Amino acid sequence: MQAYVLRRLGVLILTLLLISIIVFLVMRVIPGDPAQIILGTEANPEILAQVRERLGLDRPLLAQYLDWLRGLFTGDLGWSFHYDLPVASLIASRLLVTGPLAALALLVTIIIAIPLGIYAATHHNRPGDWGIMIFSQLGISIPEFWLGILLILLFAVYARWFPAGGFTGWGEGPLGALRSLLLPALALGFVRAAVITRMTRSSLLEVLGEEYVRTARGKGLAERVVIYKHALRNSLISVVTVLGLQLGGLLAGTIIIESVFYLPGMGRLVILAISQRDLPVVQGIVLFIAAVIILVNFLVDLLYGLLDPRIRYD
């Protein structure tokens, strides 16, 4: 196990380094001069030279990369041209919206998917199962931003129960903030719930066919005990893994959903940064999200072994 973890850790570091190289190189192939992009075409040549020097653009590419990498290790993701603030602090402040949104969406996913998956598996090949499978197939096919628009239409424009967009901020009280996050979390969570429902159903169906479940039934245990105490616990191992792996899609999903609901999170920041040509912000956020996805995949991989002692690593 220890050797496996070390090997995976080595691969993780290598992958993160590769990601940093990809992001760095993509940002350096910009047609035109980044200093010119920041200052505009009318800029004074002297100031242009100063900005180039400040950004380190006059140095060799490898030196620029190593400097940038050194900065990453100390939490320095660069400086925003537009906000005149460190990118790391900008990301940290926007995480106060994106983090709770992703967590709430994950909660919505679990609340919808696990009961539906259990119901479908325990009512296999009956109308309830078919209905849930149709729901799941539709859920996988629905664009989350369209679902968000439909939720705004129903619950904000017509029923007026929720705000159509914007964020009241945590300082105004958690209830107001949660109210602004609920519809976007529903849109994000519903789509993922469709995937997890299928996963829970198929995983539980597989476990229900195992011999130890037959033994539990054979010794006269109540069906409820067989399902919840014996079968479900084992079937949830793979569901937890898939839930973890969904986090990548969830973070990518927040980018679009934050634009639908005008939430001042990380996703909206990166979209605004593109139109403002604020490249360090784009670079920092893309790197941050990609690193989180890789790290979560790594942790899920390890968690899988801890949750299921039958799994042996070579």
Partner 1 sequence: MTKRSRYLASRPFAIGLSLGGLVLLMAAVSLFYTPYDPNKMEIPARLQGPGPAHPFGTDQFGRDILSRVMKGAINSLAVGLIAVGIGMSLGVLLGVLAGYYGSWLDEALMRLMDAIYGFPAVLLAILITSVLGPGIEKSMIAIGLSYAPLFARLARGNFLSLKEREFALAAKAVGRSGLAIAWRHILPNTFPILIIQATVCFALAILAEAGLSYLGLGTQPPDPSWGRMLKEAQAYMNLSPWPAVFPGLAIMIAVLGFNLLGDGLRDILDPRIKFLKR
Contact 197, 115 (CB under 8 A): no
Instruction: Return the structure tokens found at 128.
Output: 């309830």
Task: Identify the residue whose tokens are 């925003």.
Answer: 80
Residues 128-157 touching partner 1, rule: CB under 8 A, are: 137-138, 140-143, 145-146, 149-150, 152-153, 157
37 contributes a contact to partner 1 by CB under 8 A: no
Is 17 or 222 the residue whose CB approaches partner 1 more closely? 17
Is 11 or 47 the residue whose CB approaches partner 1 more closely? 11
Write the interaction track for partner 1 spanning residues 214-253; mark x where CB under 8 A is met and - where it is not. Answer: ----------------------------------xx-xx-
111 contributes a contact to partner 1 by CB under 8 A: no
The count of residues interacting with partner 1 (CB under 8 A) is 48
Contact 31, 75 (CB under 8 A): no
Among 190, 259, 263, 300, the residue binding partner 1 under the rule CB under 8 A is 259
11 contributes a contact to partner 1 by CB under 8 A: yes
18 contributes a contact to partner 1 by CB under 8 A: yes
Is 50 or 137 the residue whose CB approaches partner 1 more closely? 137
19 contributes a contact to partner 1 by CB under 8 A: yes
Element containing residue 14 per DSSP (H, E):
helix 2-28
Query: What residues does 86 pair with on adjacent strands?
Result: 79
Is 5 or 291 the residue whose CB approaches partner 1 more closely? 291
Burial class (CB in 10 A: 0-12, 13-18, 19+), 110: middle
What helix, strand, coil percent values describe the chain, rounded to 5? 80, 0, 20
22 contributes a contact to partner 1 by CB under 8 A: yes
Contact 246, 192 (CB under 8 A): yes
Three-state SS annotation for 227-293: HHHHHHHHHHHHHHHHHHHHHHHHHHHHHHHHHHCCCCCHHHHHHHHHHCCCHHHHHHHHHHHHHHH
Among 256, 263, 266, 269, the residue binding partner 1 under the rule CB under 8 A is 256
User: Rounded to an integer, what distance in angstroms lies between the CA atom of residue 100 and that of residue 284?
Assistant: 20
Residues that bind partner 1 (CB under 8 A): 11, 14-15, 18-19, 22-23, 26-27, 29-31, 137-138, 140-143, 145-146, 149-150, 152-153, 157, 248-249, 251-252, 255-256, 259-260, 270-271, 273-275, 277, 279, 282, 286, 289-291, 293-294, 297
